[in-house]
Amino acid sequence: MFTSVSEAILLKHGLRSDRIWTSKFLYRSIFRHIPLFLDTYVLMKSQYWSRERIERIQDERLKDLFHHVTHVPYWRDVFNTAGVDASMSPREILSKLPVTLKKALVGKRMDYITDASLLAKSDPDYTSGSTGKPFHFLQDWHASLRSFAVTERIFRSTGKRFPIVYMRARPRNGFTFYRHVWFYIRGYNSIRHRVNDFKELGRQLRKGFILYGYTSWVVELARQMEKLGIELPVRVAMVAGEHLTESDRAYVERVMKTELFTLYASREVGFLGYECELHNMHISEEWAYVEVVDENNLPLPPGREGRILVTTFDNRVMPFIRYEIGDTGVMTDSLCACGRTLRTLTFKGRTTELIELEDSRTVSLLDIAYALGSYRDSIRQYQIIQTGKVSFVMKVVPGSSFDAHKESLDALMVRLLHPRVRIQWELTGTIPEAKSGKAVYFIRDFENKS
Ligand SMILES: [Zn+2]
């Protein structure tokens, strides 16, 4: 079949073959700018291609992936059990495969869930997992190489070209290595002690920079900037998707005098989505096949909310296929007015962040975050601890107007949670962060024995 040069690059044929660029010599050398350049060049174009063309590329990439997973014992077993065969189309095969839960992979022997021949060309990583054990996984160089360009496109889509200041607790595989400055931060609570370092950074990067970090970190930095009257040349603020309320977005934009964009990513499956200039979240469909499914794991039509499943094309050492990322969302089918043809997704929340109450009532933590967002002067930080089916401790770092608003906050929580809810407010100076350094908004501190 005829493929254009651009398609050949996306499909990693010919000159863009991974066989060449993941050789030990080239991958670790300055030559890795070449595939980065080629991939970025094509990805900047392919986001505007026809749907038909994008879907054809996805089919090719799925076919290629399914061919490769036979090197992984775990996937060989899954494919055999699912009863799929080579005569089926890639999407048919996909629909027959079960959903992969993280807990199905945690604790499995590495040689069972990986392609042994790629171990030498892979980097280890783990998710700290705010609930439960860390999950150790591998990302191979094939995936990292493509991911460099996927992340490069995310930043270029802001329309601004500045150095990227990346606030992180530890490095991350597959993040663009080109023009980025790594700003090490232990965690959320250390930001207020690093204000002088930020000021120094502002002096060094006087012409401006793109600030990227967890949502809670960027919001916290804005708080410190406002409190201390500091200005930094932040041209774009970029945050990782979760927990960005409209009021947080407006707050960061006002204090930092900047425009804020979100991206959608997870450590295991990489950089899945990015916001365009119209602030719609486009899926990186050249990198991953994303499904929104119902309770029977069947794909839902656009406009219906469901669980998000992800299949990534490039990570061959440890494939993630129909991987349940733990989020819910809604896929949009209408094309975005920005001209990009990549489908858009509205993130609805993390399934792990649903608060379960009496009478099988569940409340999304995101809804509470939205509501509390309009009480910024009363609540500077919060953590909701569920101590029983309808009892909660609200740990709060109070702001100046907390006392004045306490009654309406009580009423708000009753309205949001449950008519019989009991709230105990606990005022504190600081709220501990998670191991990853992120802020922790919710803790379930009781056994649900229903
Ligand atoms: Zn758009």
pLDDT of residue 372: 84
Residue whose entry in the numeric block shows the structure tokens 């803790």:
443
Question: Is 335 a residue whose pLDDT tops 70?
Answer: yes
Centroid of ligand 1 to alpha carbon of 153 (angstroms):
13
Centroid of ligand 1 to alpha carbon of 45 (angstroms):
14
Centroid of ligand 1 to alpha carbon of 345 (angstroms):
11
Centroid of ligand 1 to alpha carbon of 206 (angstroms):
30
Centroid of ligand 1 to alpha carbon of 125 (angstroms):
31
Helical (H) or strand (E) element with 264: strand 259-266
Centroid of ligand 1 to alpha carbon of 13 (angstroms):
29
Q: What is the pTM for the complete model shown?
A: 0.86
Residue 97 is encoded by which pair of tokens? 């495969």
28 in helix, strand or coil?
coil
User: Mean pLDDT in the chain?
Assistant: 91
pLDDT of residue 6: 96
Centroid of ligand 1 to alpha carbon of 450 (angstroms):
44
Which of 47-56, 95-104, 234-243 shows the highest mean pLDDT?
47-56
Centroid of ligand 1 to alpha carbon of 301 (angstroms):
20
**In angstroms, rounded to a whole number, what is the distance separating the alpha carbons of residues 131 and 336?**
36
Centroid of ligand 1 to alpha carbon of 336 (angstroms):
5
Centroid of ligand 1 to alpha carbon of 281 (angstroms):
7
225 in helix, strand or coil?
helix
Centroid of ligand 1 to alpha carbon of 353 (angstroms):
28
Centroid of ligand 1 to alpha carbon of 168 (angstroms):
28
Centroid of ligand 1 to alpha carbon of 347 (angstroms):
15
**In angstroms, rounded to a whole number, what is the distance separating the alpha carbons of residues 20 and 322?**
29
Question: Is 102 a residue whose pLDDT tops 60?
Answer: yes
Centroid of ligand 1 to alpha carbon of 340 (angstroms):
6
Centroid of ligand 1 to alpha carbon of 39 (angstroms):
20
Give the CATH number of domain 357-444; options: 3.30.300.30, 3.40.50.2000, 2.60.40.1930, 2.40.50.140: 3.30.300.30
Centroid of ligand 1 to alpha carbon of 35 (angstroms):
26
Residue pair 336/349 in contact by the 8 Å Cβ criterion? no
Per-residue confidence band for 2, with pLDDT thresholds at 50, 70 and 90: low
pLDDT of residue 362: 81
Centroid of ligand 1 to alpha carbon of 228 (angstroms):
36
Least confident of 232-236, 334-338, 361-365, 404-408: 361-365
**In angstroms, rounded to a whole number, what is the distance separating the alpha carbons of residues 248 and 258?**
13
Centroid of ligand 1 to alpha carbon of 262 (angstroms):
13
pLDDT of residue 450: 47
Q: Report pLDDT digits (tens) over 259-284.
A: 999 999 998 999 999 999 999 999 99
Centroid of ligand 1 to alpha carbon of 211 (angstroms):
21
Centroid of ligand 1 to alpha carbon of 259 (angstroms):
16
Centroid of ligand 1 to alpha carbon of 417 (angstroms):
35
Centroid of ligand 1 to alpha carbon of 203 (angstroms):
34
Q: Report pLDDT digits (tens) over 380-393.
A: 888 999 999 999 99
The ranges assigned to domains in the chain are 1-354, 357-444
Backbone angles phi, psi at 279, to 5 degrees: 65, 35
Centroid of ligand 1 to alpha carbon of 343 (angstroms):
9
Centroid of ligand 1 to alpha carbon of 338 (angstroms):
4
Q: What is the mean pLDDT of residues 394-418?
A: 92
User: What CATH number belongs to 1-354?
Assistant: 3.40.50.12780
Provide CB contacts within 8 A for 377, sequence distance 6+: 399, 400, 401
**In angstroms, rounded to a whole number, what is the distance separating the alpha carbons of residues 394 and 7?**
53
**In angstroms, rounded to a whole number, what is the distance separating the alpha carbons of residues 174 and 270?**
8
Measured CA distances, 165 to 180, 196, 437 (Å): 6, 15, 17
Q: What is the mean pLDDT of residues 418-428?
A: 93
pLDDT of residue 216: 85
Provide CB contacts within 8 A for 332, sequence distance 6+: 280, 302, 303, 343, 344, 345, 346
Centroid of ligand 1 to alpha carbon of 312 (angstroms):
22
CA-wise closest residue to 237 among 264, 268, 270, 209: 209
Residue pair 442/386 in contact by the 8 Å Cβ criterion? yes
Centroid of ligand 1 to alpha carbon of 76 (angstroms):
38
